[in-house]
Structure 1
Amino acid sequence: MIDIPDGSRLSFGGEEFVFVELTEHMSLSGALRIQAITEALAELGIDGIIDICPSNASYMVRIDPDRCDPRSLREPLVDLHRRFVDTTDVVLSTEILEVPIFYDDPWTTETAMRFRDRHQSRSENDLEYITRINGFDSTDEFVTAHCGNPFIVTFMCFVPGNAESMQLVPDAMQLQAPKYVRPRTDTPERALGHGGAFATIYPARGAGGYQLIGRAATPVFDLSRRLPDFTDDPVLAKAGMIVKYRRIHHDEYDAIRDEVGIGAYRYRRAPVQFGLAGFFADPLSYNASLLRELADA
């Protein structure tokens, strides 16, 4: 293990991987710093780098050892960490995308109630529980807070299409929730979950431990690439993408599902330049400007 002057720790996984841990705790500012470092690393175009995987408190670089000695990356990484000690001058070239969510839907609620023996609360469903522990008086207030400000993808997870995202709000406004005491053995496809400070959409049916609060009407993974937004890549989200959840009700959910079924649905999305200085100066006003760009798309 090698220390980087800013306190980060660099280690090697054989000849193919370089792992850098910036901190032992997760924060929005830390995650955005990682986005800046990894985006700049990609722009260097170093021969032999195959993949760069940012996460919430760390990142990993995969290399081809026949083209790049992993030890040779230490110097450029140290330079990038020094460059981005203060990220206020960073502008991320990304996009904002809208995902329609049926909050408090019957499918995730039914699933959650089947697993109360694995949950912190036996009497409440997941949405009621997460509402209470975050200090809201009603589930409607919680949903308004959850979909009122966008999220930024900080970590592409363990299943294709599964992307963890943190809400772009000051620390005091971050919505928090513990994971289940023991994971569920079932989660509906496209369920919207929230665990820790992170929201994610489950791309496929399977096990899970996040609190279930709704269901997306649209896929986040389309291996068949039937929908136009998946023509170039079966995975919807990318690290650094900004996601705005839009609350819908049952009728609109059904209508969108029909559009998806015939391959006609198009996501509302827009390219944006996400400037960290503007965001940190006034997060909520900056979010409003991002949402205006989405509305104009």
Structure 2
Amino acid sequence: MQQTMARYTWGGDEFLFVEITEGMSLEANFISNSIANALELQQLAGIVDICPANASLLVRFDPDILDWQQLERAVRALEQEVRAATDKVLRTRIIEIPVWYNDPYTNETGARFREGYHQRPEGNDLDYAAEVNGLADAEEFIKRHHETPWLVSMVGFVAGLPFLYQLVEREQQLQVPKYLSPRTDTPALTVGYGGCFSCIYSVRGAGGYQMFGVAAAPIFDPAQRLDDFSDFMIFFKPGDIVKFKPIDEAEYRRIQTEVDAGTFRYRQTPIDFDLSAALADPNKYTLSLLEALNGI
């Protein structure tokens, strides 16, 4: 575990920014999420919001209630505890996300934004992603995308959008450049990819990530109609583990019917994410995560 302590800076008189490292890593993300969880459990009066990110943490607080020096001391103490802990374990869950890959909605949108927006005017985003990763074709890229689990490293940018980091050896990670210029349209629930991060667009809107398919069920439900949103309108939490499941059009339509009826539930199960095991043997550890999901 990297022992260099985080950098602490302030945004006005209401925000504390904790930069764990300059670049994303499993270690940095684990520290960020662990500090955030521990700080939430302390229930310090005056904390308004705690926002863990890829390799950092933002805390909003009310300076009329919570002294800034007290907050910094509390967070620094938690950072030291997290770094010194022998067991690097985060209580979380693994979730199955059904995806219709190579669907007509993202393909039609991509076709409207080829000229002047995209590096490869011919083909679609999956063809381009396979090419830049040295893979045989789009089907091989899809297989590489769904066969391993992903870590939700942060949630944000737009409401409920998860950033997803592939749990494989770094040299095996898929990487795809973003569009040359952002699109002005992206279908809701598009599964996208930019750099080393995958994502799911929670709502329709602008975007610059390559588009590979559409998720079948909501991840943002302001009305909280579905049972998975009974506690909060946003489904994903930092630290969640995601396993994409490829589905065809018939299965996509069936799930949509369940969503419309209010009966859809995600397949998910609680797990303990063990950072040391994940770093020691990523391939073996990801198999154990998938076994937990298959055992539901």
Q: TM-score if structure 2 supplies the norm length?
A: 0.93
1:75 to 73, 76, 83: 73
Contact 1:88 1:277 in 2 (8 A): no
Alignment of 1:6 with 2:23, yes or no, is: no
Residue deviations 1:47-89 (CA, integer Å, cap 9, x gap): 3222211111211011121221122222233333333346772
Q: How is 1:109-148 mapped onto 2 (pairs within 5 angstroms)?
A: 109-116=107-114, 117-148=116-147
What whole-Å deviation, never above 9, does each CA across 1:125-177 have from its counterpart, x for those lacking one?
Answer: 11111111111112111111111111111111122111111111111111111
TM norm structure 1:
0.93
| 1:17 maps to 2:18 | no
**Residue in 2 aligned with 1:201?**
200
Match of 1:102 in 2: 100
* Matches of 2:85 and 2:109, distance apart in 1: 42
Other structure's SS at 1:74 match: helix
Question: Residues 202-243 of structure 1: CA distance to partner in whole angstroms, max 9, x if unpaired?
Answer: 111110011001100111111122212112211110111111
Which AA in structure 2 matches 1:276? L
Residue matched to 2:273: 274
Q: How does 1:148-167 map to 2 (within 5 A)?
A: 148-167=147-166
Q: Distance in 1 between matches of 2:184 and 2:267?
A: 33
Query: Is the Cα–Cα contact under 8 Å of residues 48 and 67 in structure 1 kept in the other structure?
Result: yes
Deviations 1:84-133 (A, max 9, x none): 34677211111111110011111101101110121111113111111111
Unaligned runs of 5+ residues in structure 2 are none
CA–CA separation in structure 2 for the residues paired with 1:134 and 1:38: 35
SS of structure 2 residue aligned to 1:66: coil
Given residue 259 of structure 2, which amino acid in structure 1 is its aligned partner?
V
Structure 2 match to 1:179: 178
Q: How many residues align?
A: 293
Instruction: Provide the identity percentage.
Output: 45
Amino acid at match of 2:244: Y
Tell me if the contact between 2:27 and 2:275 (Cα under 8 Å) persists in the aligned partners: no
How has the CA–CA distance of structure 1 residues 257 and 214 changed in structure 2, closer, same or farther, with 3 Å as cutoff?
A: same
Equivalent residue number for residue 191 of structure 1? 190
Distance (Å, rounded) in 2 between the aligned partners of 1:185 and 1:88: 47
What is the rounded CA distance, in whole Å, between the counterparts of 1:226 and 1:47 in structure 2? 32
Q: Could you say if the C-alpha distance between residues 184 and 86 of structure 1 is closer, same or farther in structure 2, counting changes exceeding 3 Å?
A: farther
State the secondary structure of the residue aligned to 1:84: helix
Amino acid at match of 1:102: W
| Residue equivalent to 1:90 | 88
CA distance in 2, matches of 1:24, 1:278: 24
Give runs of aligned pairs for residues 237-276 of structure 1, distance below 5 A. Answer: 237-276=236-275
Contact (CA 8 Å) 2:190, 2:200: kept in 1 or not? Answer: yes
Encode CA deviations 1:177-199: one digit per residue, 9 max, x unaligned.
Answer: 11111100000011100111111
Q: Which residue, out of 50, 54, 57, partners 2:55? A: 57
